[in-house]
Amino acid sequence: MVPHFTGFLKHGVCDVILGNRIRSRREALKGGMPAWKYLFNRCLTILLNLAYGTNLGEFHSGFRAYRREVLEKVAFEQNSDAFGFDAEFLAQAIRHGFVVADAPMPVKYFKEASSIGFMPSVRYGFVNLKAAWLFTLSRLGIRFRLFAERAKA
C-alpha cells in the first residue's frame, strides 16, 4: 500500500494522505474493530469534517504519509507527545492550506497493533475536539501558537 499512498503525494493529488479503515460498519467490525471504537470514530470524524470543512472517511488511522513541504511548514515540535500529536498535526496542516485526503486500507485489529484503551481514547477524543475548536477560533482571527509556521532552519 505504501507505493499507492506515496503516489498520491508524488502526483500532487494531496499533501497529506490517511488510511481509511471505515468503508463500511460491517467491514470495520469484521476486521476486529471494537464496536465502541467504531462508534466513537464515526462521531468524531463527522464533527472534525464539519469543523475543518473536509470530507474524510476517517481521521484516526495511524497509516499516513506527508509531503516534505508539510513537514517543513507545520510547527509540530510543540505538539503533544501522545496520541494527540496526530490530531494537532492534521489541524495545523489543514489550517496552513494543505490538502488532506484518505484512501481505503484493510482493517486488521489485534492486541499488539491496537494499544489504545477506552480512557486514553476518551482523552484522544477531547484532544481532537480541542484542536478543532482552536482551528475554528483561528479562522475567526484569533491567533494561536499551534498554527504558527515552523521557523526556517
Write out the chain in H/E/C secondary structure.
Answer: CHHHHHHHHHCCCCCEEEEECCCCHHHHHHCCCCHHHHHHHHHHHHHHHHHHCCCCCCCCCCCEEECHHHHHHECCCCCCCCCHHHHHHHHHHHHCCCCEEEEECCCCCCCCCCCCCHHHHHHHHHHHHHHHHHHHHHHCCCCCHHHCECCCC
- Does any domain span residue 47? yes
Can you tell me the mean pLDDT for 66-85?
92
- Does any domain span residue 90? yes
Domain that holds residue 73: 2-106+116-147
- Does any domain span residue 153? no
- Statement: residue 114 has pLDDT above 70: no
Percent of the chain with pLDDT over 90: 62
Cell of 104: 481505503
Can you tell me the mean pLDDT for 126-148?
95
- Does any domain span residue 65? yes
Q: What's the structural domain count of the chain?
A: 1
Q: How far is CA 12 from the centre of its chain?
A: 19
- The whole-number pLDDT of residue 48 equals 98
Higher pLDDT, 22 or 54: 54
Closest CA to 130 of 88, 94, 89, 92: 88
Q: What pLDDT band is residue 105 in, cutting at 50, 70 and 90?
A: confident
Higher pLDDT, 153 or 19: 19
- Does any domain span residue 111? no
Model pTM score: 0.89
- The whole-number pLDDT of residue 56 equals 96
- Does any domain span residue 152? no
- Does any domain span residue 140? yes
- Does any domain span residue 24? yes
